[in-house]
Amino acid sequence: MIWENCVGMYSDGDPAMSGERSGLQTSVKVKAPNTIWTQCIIHKESLASKSKNYSSKAVMSGKDHAPLSSACVRALNDKIYEKRKAAAQEIEKMVKDFSATKNTLQITKLLKVLGQDFALSQNPNTRKGGLIGLAAIAVALGKESSLYTGDLIHPILACFADSDPLVRYYACESLYNVSKVARGSVLVHFTDIFSVLSKLAADPDQKVRSGSEHLDKLMKDIVTESASFDLVGLMPHLRKKIYSNNTFARQFIISWVSVLDAVPDIDLIVFLPEILDGLFRILEDPNKEIQKMCDTVLNEFLRSIKKDPSRVKFDEMINILITHSQAPDELLQFTAITWIKEFVQLSGRKMLPFASGILTAVLPCLSYDTDSRRSILYYTTTFIS
């Protein structure tokens, strides 16, 4: 090419405007003094406006985002919350119109645009726009949102792994609004939601933890009012999370165990062998509030066991109690021995195969002579006699 004869140069506007090709115009002018333009004509207006915060993701590469208007797309990409909120209000009105005319095709198309192009974008502001847009769809659909829970929830769940705490916070807000409308319909995704909530409970950002607490409370209300709940599907997640050493995560787990145990239609006693060891480990947490919460939950379980021993799997739990009855922590040891005593009284001869382990656990307690351990000594003496 003879550069001196060049009068026009076309370049990709994205890297030029984002600073990746700084000095490009000067370099071209040196080679071709007669060149009259060097930028992509499509983006010329954006380049000229220094007040614009240019983002290739915000422009979305000129992609078709119908049924969203171009103005709505720009507003959803804006870094200012009020503008994204205004766009969400436009989406809500649009979806209400689609719903009134039974235009499910456009609703599905809009869900795809917001769930993929926006919520999963590389640009954090675009992701925030997608999150508020998805919530707006749910609000507009009302009870009909139950028909689209998967399309609404999956993109939101993906945002909880975001490195930007604000995106995680807005994901909490979005899922809260979707769940508040869809109610029991979200329970089909409960195991995924529970897994996310358990991580959010220990999130390093206080604002995210605060947002997750509101979402957590709503999910507890939904589970409590539900006639059908998949406890079997939840147990592997609960069993795994119960061994966390994080104080916030432990508080989260104990609160959920307490809620589930209080629901009349949920029989958590059947699954107690799977979580009993984890509960006793939490009981020795240095945080007194956590200890108190766990002690209350264990007392409720023991009360239920004494009320109806017929459904209790004593043989699957006794070795757990024997292990913890030898712990150095006084509260842990006392609680374990209390449970062993009740197990022996309630199940009788079923405990004979475990007699050696039980005696190994309780006999050393007879030598206790300190004031702090007298309660353990008294209980052990009563037990043996």
The pLDDT tens digits of the residues spanning 135-164 come to 999 999 999 999 999 999 999 999 999 999
Q: How confident is the model at residue 24 (pLDDT cuts 50, 70, 90)?
A: low
- Looking at per-residue confidence, does 140 or 30 come out higher? 140
The pLDDT tens digits of the residues spanning 277-309 come to 999 999 999 999 999 999 999 999 999 999 999
> What gap in Å lies between CA 18 and CA 57, rounded to an integer?
11
**pLDDT averaged over the chain?**
84
Q: For the chain, what are the domain ranges?
A: 1-54, 65-229
Which has the closest alpha carbon to 307: 344, 269, 278? Answer: 269
The pLDDT tens digits of the residues spanning 43-67 come to 433 333 333 343 434 445 557 798 9
Give the CATH fold of the 65-229 domain. Answer: Leucine-rich Repeat Variant (1.25.10)
**Residue labelled with tokens 């757990």:** 320
The pLDDT tens digits of the residues spanning 167-226 come to 999 999 999 999 999 999 999 999 999 999 999 999 999 999 999 999 999 999 999 998
Instruction: Please check the confidence at residue 40 and state whether its pLDDT lies above 50.
Output: no
User: In the chain, what percentage of residues exceed pLDDT 70?
Assistant: 78
What does the block give as tokens for 40? 């992509």
What mean pLDDT do residues 95-101 have?
A: 97
pTM exceeds 0.95: no
Q: Which residues contact 26 (CB under 8 A, 6 or more apart)?
A: none
Which has the closest alpha carbon to 276: 320, 339, 309, 323? Answer: 320
From 10-14, 59-63, 105-109, the region with the lowest mean pLDDT: 10-14
The pLDDT tens digits of the residues spanning 328-347 come to 888 998 899 999 989 988 99
Q: How confident is the model at residue 18 (pLDDT cuts 50, 70, 90)?
A: very low
pLDDT at 22: 44
pLDDT at 360: 83
In Å, how far from its chain's centre is CA 186?
13
pLDDT at 350: 87
Judge contact between 18 and 54, C-beta under 8 A.
yes
- Looking at per-residue confidence, does 330 or 83 come out higher? 83
Q: How confident is the model at residue 32 (pLDDT cuts 50, 70, 90)?
A: low
Which amino acid is residue 20, in one-letter code?
E
What mean pLDDT do residues 310-325 have?
A: 95
**Residue labelled with tokens 């656990």:** 361
80: number of Cβ within 10 Å? 10
